């Protein structure tokens, strides 16, 4: 079955927003883009959860999207985070991203205000009608406070430019229901569930761990797509402890920024209310990284 959005199959990386002295560090951002492009990552996703979008001003959000598009220079796809719990604001962010030249919009479910299922549908319908971009519905009830039910996503699939779902409910049943009833492309929103989701019809991942080991996550998705289940399973089991720690030691993106700092690739600076990983968490992360084969620097 050919699915809408399948041109975003494989590895997308939800990149962090680097900060220095409280400001966006655009030099580091350029370095991150080049690192990902050189690794073979197929799509970059700026200003999402991993990019600390809730603490960016609108001007910063716009500028980060523009900077990533400029740095990518057509070498890979860009799927920018443009969601909000305000439909009007989400429309504004999505329209700006389209004007900036992104290839798709990653739109998180409206958070905090917990709309009804009809409210979810109407929110995405307005967004879909306000732009020409392919839209990826980002369903992460652990962050937003409410699940977009499969039946609602099936309704959304009737809208022409709703083409993808970033699945972060942790439910294979929900993923299976969406895949069985629509022609949407499903992308994993949890690194450790990438292989299980691909086994029921998912086509890739929007990854956090890909910030530090994109080649290994790319190897997993390519192995499964090529029918080499043994290689995909081996990659999954190697990646699992690292994926687990990056999403369990603290809220994303706290652990991944710590890991990048330990690898000498980022300042690790976060914006409040996010704060640095505590000493015990960093010690555990360091051990996991060393066991994985990564060599943390002395900091």
> Pairing between strand 43-45 and 77-81?
parallel
Label the pairing between strands 23-24 and 19-20: antiparallel
Quick check: is 166 catalytic?
Answer: yes
- Cβ atoms of 53 and 89 within 8 Å: the answer is no
Q: Reply yes or no on whether 138 is catalytic.
A: yes
Supply 205's token pair: 């991942």
Residue 291 CB-density burial (10 A; 0-12 exposed, 13-18 middle, 19+ buried): exposed
Catalytic residue among 77, 146, 166, 257: 166
Catalytic choice (121, 138, 146, 257)? 138
Pairing of strands 10-14, 77-81: unpaired
End-to-end CA distance of the chain: 50
**Of 43, 133, 44, 136, which is closest to residue 96 (Cα–Cα)?**
133
Q: Which residues are catalytic?
A: 138, 166
């Amino acid at each position: 079955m050919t699915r809408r959005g399948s041109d975003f199959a494989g590895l997308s990386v939800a990149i962090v927003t680097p900060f220095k002295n409280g400001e966006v560090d655009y030099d580091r951002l350029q370095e991150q883009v080049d690192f990902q492009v050189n690794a073979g990552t197929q799509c970059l996703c700026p200003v999402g959860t991993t990019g600390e979008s809730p603490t960016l001003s609108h001007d910063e959000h716009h500028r980060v999207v523009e900077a990533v598009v400029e740095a990518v220079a057509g070498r890979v796809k860009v799927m920018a985070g443009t969601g909000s719990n305000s439909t009007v604001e989400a429309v504004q962010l999505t329209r700006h991203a389209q004007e900036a030249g992104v290839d798709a919009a990653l739109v998180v479910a409206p958070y905090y205000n917990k709309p009804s299922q009809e409210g979810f549908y109407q929110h995405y319908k307005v967004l879909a009608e306000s732009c020409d971009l392919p839209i990826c519905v980002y369903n992460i009830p652990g962050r937003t406070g409410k699940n977009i039910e499969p039946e609602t996503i099936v309704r959304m699939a009737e809208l022409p430019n709703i083409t993808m779902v970033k699945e972060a409910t942790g439910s294979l049943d929900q993923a299976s229901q969406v895949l069985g009833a629509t022609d949407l492309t499903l992308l994993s929103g949890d690194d450790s569930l990438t292989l299980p989701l691909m086994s029921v019809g998912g086509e890739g991942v929007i990854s956090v761990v890909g910030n530090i080991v994109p080649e290994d996550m790319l190897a997993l998705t390519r192995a499964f797509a090529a029918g080499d289940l043994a290689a995909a399973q081996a990659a999954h089991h190697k990646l699992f402890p690292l994926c687990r720690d990056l999403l369990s030691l603290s809220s994303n993106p706290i652990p991944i920024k710590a890991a990048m700092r330990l690898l000498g690739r980022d300042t690790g600076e976060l914006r409040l209310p996010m704060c640095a990983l505590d000493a015990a968490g960093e010690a555990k992360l360091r051990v996991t990284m060393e066991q994985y084969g990564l060599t943390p620097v002395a900091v």
